[in-house]
Structure 1
Amino acid sequence: MPEQQPRLLQAGRTMAVATAISRLTGFVRTLVLAAALGLGTGLLDVYTAANVTPNTIYEVVFGGALASVLVPLLVRATDDDDIDGDLFAQRLLSLVVYCLGAVVMVTVIAAPFIVDLYAPGFSLEQRQLAIMFTRYFMPQILFYAVSAVLTAVLNARGRFASPPWAPVANNVVVIATAAAFMLVGGTGKLESLTQSQTLILSIGTTTGVAAQMFVLILTSRRAGFRLRLRVNPRGIGIRRIAALAGWTIVSVAAAQAVFVVITRIASQSGSGAIGIYSHAYTLFQMPYAVIAITVMTGVLPRMSRAAANRDLAQITADLSQSLRLTSVVLVPVSAALIVLGPNLTTLLFAHGNASSAAAHLTGKVLAAFGLALVPFAAHQIMLRAFYALGDTRTPSLLSFTVSAITIVTCLAAGRITSGPNLIIALAACSAMAYAIGLLVTAQLLRRRLGRVDGRRLLGAHSRMVVAAAVAGLATALTTRAVNTTAVTGWTGTLVSVGAATMVGAGVYALTAKALHVTELKTLTAAFRSSKT
């Protein structure tokens, strides 16, 4: 029987557009920062290491995975007539503000120890600058946490479209910060950095995260949520939340241990390595964020309600649909990253203070990350099914396993290879770990739900992979053909990438249609109807 257009897509169209615009501005932010600070320079390494530190600490003490715990709790509080949903959310927000405010104060003091932990390979000059950046960036921990709670409140109330717009404010502020840095004569050279240029980068970056939080504050007020801090945050089942969150914190801590290991290895493998790896990872995350996170954000409340009603069949249906609709886009994107990685990054980053060699190496790392795209997205979607069921222990153990595999393989890679090849190997280690994690997660989820629609998933994904392989071959042949022409340099790369992308997309669409990949038709029909 033909599958009707899913309500998930109907709810997610506006959210997908908002997420795409958010990621587009984030993409521009990445390009501007790379041009301003210089891809492959020591300054970008310092800025990157310091700027990701508050994200990492936030993930450990509060956790992106914890948001998956908050949404089911807030959904139940909203649907329960015996619970004051606003009061519950206000007390939860108050608890977060008090706890994370204390964390900010501690981390500002401990900045030297944090920098030494993440980047032991920094020179003395880099270390001093990283400590200063880190202290300015630490308030972001609190801003991110408040944003996460407000996003969970909005999602629990069925407001999915507004939160993805908030990061746009962050991106715009940081883009303006990078532009201001260049206007006052900033370069990628540490020795020429002035105090005013340092303050522009420090204050401007944290102001961006604050702007993101204030957008969500305004959006929440318009949605009817009374933003008020309670002196006494008790009465929300803190022990229950702690029990649920305990396992998620373990898994997130393990994931951040991966980041620490990778950053430490990169900091000792040559100047610019941290920035190169980080920028490749950012590009890898873009299609995942636009497609997979949009799907996960929309499907988690649905699965949570199905779990509350003990409707395992509905959870399986939502899960299968989410995996197939996500993969029909991400499988060809993965093929494109593998084939076009160096050309894409040369086109994007070989500007301003950036090194052409560093841009090309970033592309090779991106190609290795391309292997991880589909396993990573599928693994994350499957974990949401456990969260919907109120089980945080199993996904935490699964995430811990993936992190352990990544750490072991990365340490092994550090002993086997070095230099540029090591950065590529680190990305390949992540791909292998998520592929193993996906297989294990699918088996455990099958035991929990009884079935995961495996035959349909396997058949659909097999057809998608074949279509993407044919498209990837066409893309590679097109690139080779264009490269033999007289057009060279940046213009030649632009022509090559543009032609290869159009040919690859067309071949994938035609091959998918011939192989009866119905998910592509479902997806395109949904977005066509959204325009009418």
Structure 2
Amino acid sequence: MSRVLRASAIMAAGTMVSRVTGFVRTAVLAAAIGTFALGDAYNVAYTIPLILFDFLIGGILSSVVVPMIIRRQKSDPDGGRAYEQRLMTLGVIALTVVAVVAVLLAGPLISLYSTDWNARKTEVAVTLAHYILPQIAFFGIGAIAGAILNTRDRFAAPMWAPVLNNIVMIGVAVVYYVKLGGAGTDVNTVTDADLLLLGLGTTAGIVAQGMVLVVSLHRVGFRFRPRLDLRNAGLGEMGRTAVWTFAYVGISQIGFLITTRLATGAGEQVPGAGNSAYSYAYQFFQLPYGIIAVSVITAMLPRMSRAVAEGRLESIREEFSSGVRLVSALLVPAGLLLMVLGPAVTVLIFSWGNMTVDSAVYIGNVLQIFGLALVPFSIFQLLLRVFYSFGDTRTPVFLALGNVAVNATLSLVAYYTLPPRYIVMGLALAFTIAYVVGTAGAWALAGRRVQGLGGREVAHGLSRMYVAAVPAAAVALGVLWLTQELTDLNALSAAIMLAAGGGLGMVLYLVIAHRMRIPEVSSIVGMVAGRVGR
């Protein structure tokens, strides 16, 4: 566990700074463009390149490319250098073509992810998409560079690079707000020059992020030289493996498409309670997952892939079990605290500029429901890496199919049965239930593959973590109630709730868990104490 903890700590530091600056970026952007028509148009245009990247290469990188690079590093006489050159060449060519085609199809893509938008709102979204979609190429180049760095156990740069992207976007949003003020949220008066600033500014941040990763790759000795002898790139093997990854991502994106269309439809019925609210709440939900779970997942996959190559099933079981318990040690209290303090978080971040306290509270209500999903969602992602370490991209497809079926069914029920204001909350609940069910199924299948995952040990550890976390949530709830009795909810009172309720709650959890001798928490406390002692 110590190796996972050390590698995860390095990545978590970068990820924490990245996520914190990302929150500042989100807050400044929301203050500038709001969560009504322009906010919805921007968020849909911004999301489409992420979807296309994830569909075309994002899933392949995590499930196929990293294990294949590691195998080629072991088997090829040159340590896999030529293979990496061909991979980068293929990525540059393919993603440039995709970016051009996506720009040409911006109109149909926007229509696919929106519901009942008027002509002006659609026009604004399409214009923004024209400026934002080219970033697909830079997303991909940076991601391939990050994957190659990960196979060399260089995890810091991929975790720190998004900070530069966030800083660029914060500057763009500040300039936009200073220029337009309260008029910046009006989709009917925003000009082409204003949309150019928003769109190209967004892309500029991704370009900067990608270039940082390319430079980092150069520093570890990688020299990019275009290689067009792609017959030796292992495309056949990659294609046979990746076809299932495409299916997995495609199925997942169908689920996302359904959620986005339902959320945009809800926003047309109740302005401010639509896709922007869902998107911002989901970004906040991703903070603890990104800081804690992603760091562990990134460190685990190369090691599990090597263990598979060497036939060491016991090492896979130990790696997975320690990873789940380490992740849960912090995600369990984080999930409970989000359920209690969600509105305080979003009021502190979002009640500025062109945002209102009511809009911020609504995002917080959605975030509270996402808090329920934090642990099962993270464990599900860890389970997928078990299959990927074996080169198995087929089983995750069926897991995704079940996940999307549950999520889509419950989302449609929420859309057609709940009052419009509660639809987005219902979508968050559907997401949560889908990942609870999906995690149970994934665990059963992964356990068969590696002859057991230490379920009893993990369940025992999780139950003790929840026992330690309940008093922390109770303290946070008490602070929340007392603050609301003494003052109205605003940014200052929200800060007090978070500092007192969240801070005291987390400290109480760490103390109780340490006294209960939960080893993962004790390791974290010991590492922090050691750092402070220096």
TM class by shorter chain equals: over 0.9
Aligned to 1:503: 504
Matched letter for residue 521 of structure 1: S
Aligned to 2:113: 118
- Superposed structure 1 runs of 4+ greater than 6 Å apart: none
* The 10-residue stretch of structure 1 (329-338 or 130-139) with the greater mean CA deviation from structure 2: 130-139
Q: Note the alpha carbon deviations across 1:277-328, whole angstroms, 9 max, x for none.
A: 1000000001101100000111111101101011000000000010000001
Aligned to 1:66: 61
Distance 1:123 1:348, change over 3 A: same
SS in 2 for 1:15: helix
SS in 1 for 2:226: coil
Deviation at 1:232, TM superposition (A): 3.1
Q: Is the 8 A contact 2:348 2:490 kept in 1?
A: no
Deviation at 1:502, TM superposition (A): 2.3
**Which blocks of at least 5 consecutive residues in structure 1 are unaligned?**
none
Distance 1:119 1:287, change over 3 A: same
Q: Note the alpha carbon deviations across 1:314-371, whole angstroms, 9 max, x for none.
A: 0000000100000010000000110111121112101100122111110010001001
* The 10-residue stretch of structure 1 (497-506 or 302-311) with the greater mean CA deviation from structure 2: 497-506
Aligned to 2:320: 319
Alpha-carbon distance in structure 2 between the residues aligned to 1:301 and 1:349: 38
Alpha-carbon distance in structure 2 between the residues aligned to 1:133 and 1:139: 11
Q: Is the 8 A contact 1:46 1:130 kept in 2?
A: yes
Q: Does 1:177 align with 2:164?
A: no
Aligned to 1:415: 416
Q: Note the alpha carbon deviations across 1:467-514, whole angstroms, 9 max, x for none.
A: 222211221112112222257643222222221112211321233234
Distance 1:108 1:274, change over 3 A: same
Alpha-carbon distance in structure 2 between the residues aligned to 1:85 and 1:428: 45
C-alpha RMSD of the superposition: 1.5
Matched letter for residue 163 of structure 2: V
Alpha-carbon distance in structure 2 between the residues aligned to 1:214 and 1:489: 40
Q: Is the 8 A contact 1:69 1:245 kept in 2?
A: yes
Aligned to 1:86: 81
Matched letter for residue 484 of structure 1: E
Q: Is the 8 A contact 2:61 2:147 kept in 1?
A: no
Give the paired residue count.
Answer: 527
Q: Does 1:102 align with 2:97?
A: yes
Deviation at 1:161, TM superposition (A): 1.3
Distance 1:411 1:83, change over 3 A: farther
Matched letter for residue 362 of structure 2: L
Aligned to 1:363: 364
Deviation at 1:66, TM superposition (A): 3.5
Q: Note the alpha carbon deviations across 1:87-133, whole angstroms, 9 max, x for none.
A: 11110111122222221222111111111110022221110011111
Q: Is the 8 A contact 2:476 2:497 kept in 1?
A: no
Aligned to 2:71: 76
Alpha-carbon distance in structure 1 between the residues aligned to 2:244 and 2:318: 27
SS in 2 for 1:185: helix
Alpha-carbon distance in structure 2 between the residues aligned to 1:86 and 1:334: 42
Aligned to 2:151: 156
Distance 1:488 1:205, change over 3 A: closer
Aligned to 1:189: 186
Select the residue among 24, 29, 34 that pairs with 2:30: 34
Select the residue among 231, 237, 242 that pairs with 1:240: 237
Select the residue among 4, 16, 23 that pairs with 2:19: 23
Q: Is the 8 A contact 1:63 1:249 kept in 2?
A: no
| Matching of residues 365-380 of structure 1 within 5 Å | 365-380=366-381
Superposition TM-score, scaled by structure 1 size: 0.96
Q: Does 1:251 align with 2:252?
A: no
| Matching of residues 81-480 of structure 1 within 5 Å | 81-186=76-181, 187-270=184-267, 271-272=271-272, 273-480=274-481
Q: Is the 8 A contact 2:347 2:490 kept in 1?
A: no
Select the residue among 7, 12, 19 that pairs with 1:11: 7
SS in 1 for 2:486: coil
Deviation at 1:264, TM superposition (A): 0.6
Alpha-carbon distance in structure 2 between the residues aligned to 1:484 and 1:403: 42
Alpha-carbon distance in structure 1 between the residues aligned to 2:489 and 2:418: 33
Distance 1:83 1:404, change over 3 A: farther
Alpha-carbon distance in structure 2 between the residues aligned to 1:441 and 1:289: 21
Q: Note the alpha carbon deviations across 1:192-212, whole angstroms, 9 max, x for none.
A: 312221111011101111111
Aligned to 2:495: 494
Matched letter for residue 98 of structure 2: V
Percent pairwise identity? 36
Q: Is the 8 A contact 1:324 1:519 kept in 2?
A: yes
Superposition TM-score, scaled by structure 2 size: 0.96
Deviation at 1:84, TM superposition (A): 4.6
* The 10-residue stretch of structure 1 (257-266 or 510-519) with the greater mean CA deviation from structure 2: 510-519
